[in-house]
């Protein structure tokens, strides 16, 4: 073993023994530090994982959705509007969509009713989201009654439920046949909620949107990229609110760092004075204090981050789900696939570990360059 490694091993051994002599203080410090890293890492991991899931879910969405505006509000589109948009160069497919919302007074939740353009359920049957199945206690084969806008209730048979993997977007979703959906929403034949367009070249989406506006001035084109930016902005906003709510913990950490930087305790100063008196050099004292700060901060960071990882991707996120998922009643129950951003980890490491180590080294350096007799007195 090289002399340098032996010296560092001796410094680590002395640092561990010194921390053991101040066990109560060090444990309290370590717990506060770990809690801070756990909370910050939980928020960052959850928001990053949700952003990634949003990108994955919108990957198969149509590149362009066209809505008609009337009086500044979303209005229905007719078959005539559909014909006016046919033949636009660059458009792969153009298909009308039929969907709407339904308020359920029993669960006090809004359901999204929709007819898929391909492979819809047969008349009299529906496919429901897992959140609806949980709230209403429904299973395959059960009857589910929905009251339409005309005041009449219609009972449909549950044909199936969506898998938990899609619950982020399907928790409150009901798919049904067009023949069942039109009476429920009060949409007459030949009218649709909006139009979906697929574009062969993603770089031409903006140009296609311009052509849509030329043919249908009252239209509002919605690009898939805009939806993704909206999701990101929403998650950024909610992440910011959570971080603001954690400002008390951040303030505690700032006070902790400030306390460390303001000076050493009498016992620590006396220990440094004794080390200097028996022949330790200033560099050796600083090396020992550096190892002490590194052991405490690095262990707290690793434990806090691992706990945050388990909290988000195993638990899953019971402390943050209600805030970041955003459902009012039907909270989706799903496990996010583990997603870790290396830059995010480095940023959190830089802003939590380095300030703490620097706060420990400054007063230690001041004590180490002072006359040992003065320090001990």
Contact of 44 with 344, CB cutoff 8 Å:
yes
Which residues, listed in sequence order, are joined to residue 220 by a DSSP beta bridge?
A: 67
Cβ atoms of 336 and 53 within 8 Å: the answer is: yes
Note the pLDDT tens digit of each residue in 43-74: 888 888 877 777 777 777 788 889 998 888 88
Residue 163 near residue 332, CB atoms below 8 Å: no
- Spelled out in words, what is the top-level CATH class assigned to the domain 77-192? mainly beta
Task: Give residue-wise pLDDT tens across range 295-322.
Answer: 888 999 999 999 999 988 887 777 776 6
Q: Report d(CA 120, CA 176) in Å as an integer.
A: 6
**pLDDT tens track of the chain, all 377 residues?**
677 777 778 778 877 787 777 788 788 888 888 988 998 888 888 888 877 777 777 777 788 889 998 888 889 999 888 888 888 888 888 889 999 998 888 888 888 999 988 888 999 999 998 888 888 888 999 999 988 877 788 899 999 998 766 666 778 889 999 999 998 998 999 899 999 888 888 788 888 889 889 998 998 998 888 887 877 777 677 667 766 766 666 676 676 666 655 555 666 667 766 776 766 777 777 888 888 888 888 999 999 999 999 988 887 777 776 665 554 555 555 567 788 888 889 988 988 888 888 877 777 777 666 665 555 55
Cα–Cα distance, 363 to 356 (Å, whole number): 12
Per the rule left: phi > 0, alpha: psi between -120 and 50, beta: everything else, 245 is alpha
Angle at 251 between CA 246 and CA 346, to 5 degrees: 70
Q: Where are the domains of the chain?
A: 3-58+232-376, 77-192
* Residue 272 token pair: 């440094």
Helical spans, DSSP H, in 116-177: 130-136, 167-170
């Amino acid at each position: 073993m090289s002399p340098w490694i032996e010296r560092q091993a001796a410094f680590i051994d002395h640092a561990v023994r010194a921390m053991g002599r101040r066990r109560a203080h060090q444990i309290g410090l370590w717990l506060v530090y770990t809690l801070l890293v756990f909370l910050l890492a939980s928020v960052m991991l959850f928001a990053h994982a949700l952003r990634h899931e949003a990108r994955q879910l919108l990957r198969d969405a149509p590149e362009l959705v066209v809505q008609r505006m009337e009086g500044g509000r979303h209005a229905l589109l007719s078959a005539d509007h559909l014909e006016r948009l046919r033949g636009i160069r660059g458009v792969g497919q153009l298909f009308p969509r039929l969907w709407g919302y339904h308020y359920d007074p029993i669960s006090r939740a809004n359901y999204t009713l929709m007819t898929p353009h391909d492979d819809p359920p047969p008349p009299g049957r529906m496919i429901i989201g897992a959140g609806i199945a949980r709230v209403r206690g429904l299973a395959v084969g059960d009857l589910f009654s929905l009251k339409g806008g005309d005041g009449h209730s219609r009972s449909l048979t549950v044909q199936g439920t969506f898998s938990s993997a899609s619950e982020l977007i399907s928790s409150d979703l009901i798919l049904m046949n067009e023949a069942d959906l039109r009476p429920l929403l009060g949409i007459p034949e030949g009218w649709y909620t909006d139009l979906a367009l697929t574009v062969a070249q993603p770089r031409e989406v903006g140009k296609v949107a311009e052509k849509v506006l030329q043919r249908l001035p009252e239209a509002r084109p919605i690009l898939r990229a805009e939806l993704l930016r909206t999701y990101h902005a929403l998650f950024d906003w909610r992440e910011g609110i959570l971080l603001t709510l954690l400002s008390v913990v951040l303030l505690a950490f700032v006070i902790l760092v400030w306390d460390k930087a303001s000076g050493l305790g009498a016992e620590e100063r006396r220990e440094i004075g004794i080390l200097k008196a028996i022949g330790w050099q200033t560099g050796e004292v600083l090396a020992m204090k550096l190892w002490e700060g590194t052991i405490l901060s690095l262990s707290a960071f690793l434990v806090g981050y691992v706990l945050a990882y388990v909290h988000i991707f195993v638990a899953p996120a019971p402390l943050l789900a209600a805030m970041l998922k955003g459902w009012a009643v039907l909270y989706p129950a799903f496990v996010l696939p583990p997603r870790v951003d290396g830059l995010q980890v480095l940023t959190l490491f830089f802003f939590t570990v380095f300030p703490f180590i620097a706060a420990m080294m400054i007063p230690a350096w001041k004590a180490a360059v002072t006359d040992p007799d003065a320090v001990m007195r």
